[in-house]
Structure formats: C-alpha cells, structure tokens
A and B are shown apart, each in its own frame.
Chain A
Amino acid sequence: MIVRILGEGQLEVPDSTVERLNELDRALETAVERGDEAAFEPALAALLATVRQVGSPVQADDLRPSELIVPQSDATMTEVRRLLTDEGLIPG
C-alpha cells in the first residue's frame, strides 16, 4: 500500500503494518478533534516515524495514487484541519 508524506513523497508500506498505522492515526485524529495541542505534536511525530520506519520509497516515476496521506512533519494543527476540508488545497 502506498502512503504519501506531504512534502516528502510516497512510500510503500507492507499491508501488515496498516493496523499499527491506523492506531497512531486515530490518536492524531483524536488530538485534532479535541484541539489538544499537547497531544497533537507527539501523535503526528509518532505516525510519521512509523511510516518512515516501515516504508520504502516508491519509484519516482510511479504514477499510482496513494491510499493514505500523512501531513508534513512541521504541520500545525490549523494546517491539518484545513487539509481535512478542501479549503486546504490550492484551487485548480
């Protein structure tokens, strides 16, 4: 399965790791929903660290879309919120 880290590119992660990633992702989602800044940063860092650890880079000329997209490492909670709605993306 392909996972994209925004600003960094795509990684191929083994399907066996998906449950672990989802768990970390749920912690991130909870932090965002509760507006919990203190929990947000470590949650995002933990998710990114695991994706990087289990993933291997996808060939640059691979045109397959990603199944999951992770916000960039220095993303703020506000930025992540905007990414969850289409206002976060550039029009066009």
Chain B
Amino acid sequence: MRGAAAVRDPGRAAAAGLPIEGMVAPMGVMKRVTMVFRAKANKALDRMEDPRETLDYSYQTQLELLQKVRRGVADVATSRKRVELQINQLQGQADKLDRQARDALGAGREDLAREALTRKAGLQGQLVDLQGNYEQLQKEEEQLGQAAQRLQTKVDAFRTRKETIKATYTAAEAQTRINEAFAGISEEMGDVGLAIQRAEDKTAQMRARAGALDELMASGALEDMVGGPHDDIQAELDRMGAGQGVDHELERMKAEIAQSAPRQLEGAQPGSADGASADATATAADPAEAGEPE
C-alpha cells in the first residue's frame, strides 16, 4: 500500500525518496516549490487582522531582511579578504623557497635546492585549495550582492504600493491588492533568505578552514615547514654566506698584515709581501670547504 500512502502525502513521499505512484497528474518540482513559497506567504497573511496592518508589518520585516542580507555580503567579503591574506602569505613563502633553491644551486648545493623545492611543492597544494576557496567566496559575494540589490528594488516598489493601497482603499477592498503585492515580496524574501543561508553555510566552512590554517601558521608548524625563525635551509645558506664573508675578512687581514709585517720586522721586502698575499688566497679556499658541516 505504499502507493496509496504516497498519494495521500506526495510531498513527504518525495522527500523520503519514495516514488509517487498513481498520481493523476505529476505536479513537477517547479510547481511544488512554488506552492511551498505560497503557503508560507499565506500563513503570514493569515496572522494579520487588519490587512492594511500587514503592509506596515511586512515592510518592517523587509527592511530587517535587507539589513541582514547586507551584513551577509559584508561577512562573505571579510572571509574572502582573510583567504586573500593567507594566499599572499603562502605565496610569499613559496617565493622565498624558490629564491633559496636558486641560491643553493648557485652555491653548488643541489641537496639544499631539492629540499627547498620539495617544501615549495607542499605549499603549492595549499595555495591551489585557497585559490579555490577564494573564487567560491568571490562568487558568493557577488550573488548575494545582486540578491540584495533585487530585494532593495522590490522593497522600494512595495513601499510605494503600500502607500497607494492605504490611501485609496478600505480595508475590505485592499485585501486582494495586498495579497498580490505580499505574495510577490514574500517570494523574493524567501529566495533571499535561502541565499543568505547558503552563503552562511559556505562561509562557515571556509572560516573553519582558514582558522585551521591560521593556527597552523601561528603554531610555527608551517613556519618550520617552509622556513620561519627555525629556517634550516636559510641557516645553511647563511652559514655558507657567512663562511665566505669570514674568508674574505681573513684574506683582507692577512693581506694587511703581510704588507705591514715586513716593514715592522725586517724592513721593506716587497717579494715577501707578495708571497704572503698569495698564501692568504690559498688558505681562503680552505675555510670555504670547512664551512660545509657534512
């Protein structure tokens, strides 16, 4: 008897995924959605005693919804900007790893370069995800903004209509006209309400993800991975750089000493000074090798 039950309550049967058997004329999704919207508008109308009272009350509700949808647009924009900030941060770190890889390669350290590029690849995955989030939020913001615009126009039209109805008709006469205007605006409000809900759901998801990423960044876990204060790749590069600096310094000092020493100890002996300088150049190569810890 599933068929009979379905006929008595087709809405529920459809919601439960049951086939609607034995229906004379299938109503279709469009008609059924419309009926749900209408039923909701009628319910609200039935609650009002004086139909003209409905107009003012409804107008207030419309203004509140307009506020809500505008806040919704702002919320989505905030989430979008946050994701944008994260994209910039991660991109900055990816660029840095790229530079480090180049520096490392320049210094003949392919192992370090490989490490930097591996980490950069890890970041690229995150970046692609964030880019997807960003585009989704951008689309959501745009759609909600347009919905706000449409509602604003309808609310303005409703206000004009409301004043006309109140000025021209008695309560009894006004009923039909009110019903008509009310059905139209109520449908728009239902639509916008759904759009706000969808946007809220989406931003809540993205916010949770953005929050997790922020925490990861703050905890230093990501910093460790891509190189923050404990950036081992940079430390290695710095060590190599510093090693070269020390070598240059040593070289310079040796040259100075070599120039002055003969004068102090044995008097001017240019040949000897040249020899010391050549020695300094030769030794300079050694600490550079010693600079590599491995």
Contacts and interface: CB of A to CB of B under 8 A. Distances in A.
Interface string B120-155: 000000000000000000000001000101100110
B184 A63 contact: yes
A29 B25 CA distance: 12
Given A25-B28, A86-B39, A33 B18 contact: yes
A59 to B, nearest CB: 9
B33 A71 contact: yes
Interface of A is mostly: mixed
Contact of A84 (B36, B40, B153, B196): B36
B187 to A, nearest CB: 5
A6 interface: yes
Given A63-B158, A92-B61, A32 B184 contact: no
A90 B190 contact: yes
Contacts of A65: 37-38, 41, 180, 183-184, 186-187
Nearest to B195: A7
Interface in A30-46: 32-35
A72 B199 CA distance: 13
A84 B36 CA distance: 7
A90 B183 contact: no
Contacts of B41: 65
Nearest to A74: B198
Interface string A67-92: 11111100000001111111011101
B161 A89 contact: no
Given A33-B20, A35-B17, A63-B184, A86 B36 contact: yes
A69 B150 CA distance: 16
Most B CB atoms within 10 A — which of A22, A65, A71? A65
Contacts of A34: 17, 19
Interface residues of B, number: 50
Contacts of A92: 61, 193
Contacts of B157: 61-63
B90 to A, nearest CB: 27
Nearest to A9: B150
Interface residues on A, range: 35 or more
A7 to B, nearest CB: 5
Contacts of B154: 60-61, 63
A24 B154 CA distance: 30
Contacts of B15: 81-82, 84-85
Interface in B1-59: 11-15, 17-20, 26-34, 36-41
Contact of B40 (A64, A66, A89): A89
Most B CB atoms within 10 A — which of A3, A33, A81, A90? A33
Contacts of B190: 89-90
A7 B30 contact: no
A23 B293 CA distance: 76
A32 B153 CA distance: 34
A11 interface: no
A13 B241 CA distance: 73
B185 interface: yes
A66 B36 contact: no
A69 B34 contact: yes
Interface in B149-200: 149-150, 153-154, 156-158, 161, 180-181, 183-187, 190-191, 193-198
Nearest first, the 9 closest Cβ-Cβ pairs linking A and B are A63-B184, A61-B157, A68-B30, A25-B28, A60-B153, A90-B193, A65-B183, A69-B33, A35-B17
Interface of B: 11-15, 17-20, 26-34, 36-41, 61, 143, 147, 149-150, 153-154, 156-158, 161, 180-181, 183-187, 190-191, 193-198
